[in-house]
Amino acid sequence: MDQFERLSQLPLRDDLRGQHPYGAPQLDVPILLNVNENTFGVPLDAREAILKAVANELDGLNRYPDREFTELRRALAAYLGHDLTEENIWAANGSNEVLQQLLQAFGGPGRRAIGFPPTYSMYPLLASGTGTAYVTGVRAEGYALTAESAARQVREQAPNIVFLCSPNNPTGTALGLDVVEAVYEAGTASQAIVIVDEAYAEFAHAGTPSALSLLPGRPRLVVSRTMSKAFALAGARVGYLAAAPEVTDAVRLVRLPYHLSAITQATAVAALRNSDSLLANVEHIKVQRDRIVNELTAMGLAPSPSDSNFVFFGGLANPQAVWEGLLADGVLIRDVGIPGHLRVTAGTEAETTAFLEGLRALLGR
């Protein structure tokens, strides 16, 4: 009897039967470009600041941390700008926990959420885990999502929660603010919470607007962010949101007590105080991202325009063979399950070169 069969014999919730947990392959290869990590790592000055901040917390580890993580919320508000204050900010262990808490507060049995695939694959899993029904919207050819189409689907489905991923994962494209505005208005009848997931916002091209600018006067709008990508803190698990103060009050009703450890809070605050050096690497990543788009185009492939730290590309007759060939060369990228397509993270110049040379050789065969 295999593990899946043993699991099925437990009194599992009916809606979880047959489900599979989220997870990308975790393989030990030289170049990891499959889960959109910041491969530059933490710069020395930020590393030293984090070490000092964590050391200062050690004497108090026998005490519970600040339940309201006040210093972190103030630092995040200052980083985001847009006249936000600590009252507008909430944080948790990664943006996935932020999204989960929002679903716990505003979703649940008898309620439903809508997303527009292809998009972040955790949305339906988080919905399932909170007993929230999940409805899949549709996109146009080329995976575009217009304001008119999105608003019409929200009016028809009358969801309680709407997920808008911008820049979208896995396509990498940012949404226009007109889409967010139209969806927000369309969700008025069902009082929908509109979540704009901006996990990759720091990698967007200059001039790309953030939904943070739309928060005033929109109490049902939430902008979700993370420190995993631009701040190279995937291992620290820090995500956060900006919204009206009443949204953060709602999330307090469902959060676990003392959910952010003192070490996590200290790490995040120190990183925010050293954001200049951390975000300097974002500019290097954007250069490699644009290089990938240009060189894939020259190879005759079809990369999508990207405002993120990854590139989604099509035109592959056999993506599985390409994925396996690159893996054999020590380069791991992501098969997102979309026919003819793969996704690659923009890494360092050397990592990007290894990917491009490996792909060029495979296509030449």
Domain ranges of the chain: 20-43+277-364, 44-273
Both structure tokens of 292? 């990938």
Topology given in CATH for the domain delimited by 20-43+277-364: Aspartate Aminotransferase, domain 1 (3.90.1150)
Record the pTM. Answer: 0.95
- What mean pLDDT comes out for the span 299-306? 96
Average pLDDT in the 189-196 region?
Answer: 98
* Domain spanning 44-273: CATH 1.10.3720.10: no
Indicate the pLDDT class of residue 42, thresholds 50, 70 and 90.
Answer: very high
- Tell me if 20-43+277-364 shares its fold with 44-273: no
Lowest mean pLDDT among 23-32, 231-240, 255-264: 23-32
Residue 33's pLDDT band, with cuts at 50, 70 and 90, is very high
Comparing 79 with 13, the larger pLDDT belongs to 79
